[in-house]
Amino acid sequence: MSSASKGKKHRLIKSFGFAFTGIRTAILSERNMKIHLCITIIVIFASIGLSISMIEWLFVILAIGGMLSLEMLNSAIERVVDLVTEEYHPLAKQGKDIAAGAVLIYAMMSVMIGLIIFLPKLFHLFF
């Protein structure tokens, strides 16, 4: 393996390390991330318990992965805005509000996916 290949491989490994550090930081420091993770655990156990189909798993995984990713992006935007300005600025507020709105839209979509998948199964289980 050439020296250039080793350097590229080392940089790739370091970039994964940075990504895992970012995930860890979000989990440890962001309240909403902790809430999303708790809901994720509940949804995974419900999915296993209710024996959802492979296609339903795909939707659940996309909803969970998208929600966690979007929450992390929202947190990153908030931190960058806070870094750039400590003073109130309408554009800074708009940036934060828009990012929070994106999270809310995805959360509502995830809830709808959950209702579509789980309500019929719960109805069948109890009635």
pLDDT value, residue 37 = 97
* Alpha-carbon distances of 119 from 5, 37, 64, 66, 116, rounded to whole Å: 52, 21, 18, 21, 6
pLDDT of amino acid 86 = 85
Structure tokens at 54: 């492979």
Would you say residue 1 has pLDDT above 80?
no
- Provide the 3-class DSSP secondary structure of residue 37: helix
Q: How sure is the predictor about 52, in pLDDT bands with cuts at 50, 70 and 90?
A: very high
CB atoms within 10 A of CB 107: 18
CA distance 65 to 117: 17
Which positions are catalytic? Answer: 71
Between residues 11 and 118, the one the model is more confident about: 118
35: Cβ–Cβ under 8 A, 6 or more apart, which residues?
Answer: none
Assign 81 a pLDDT band (cuts: 50, 70, 90). Answer: very high
Give residue 3's pLDDT.
67
The domains of the chain, with CATH numbers, are 31-126 (1.10.287.3610)
Mean pLDDT for the chain?
A: 94
pLDDT, residue 4, reads 64
Burial-class residue 49 by CB neighbours within 10 Å (0-12, 13-18, 19+).
Answer: exposed
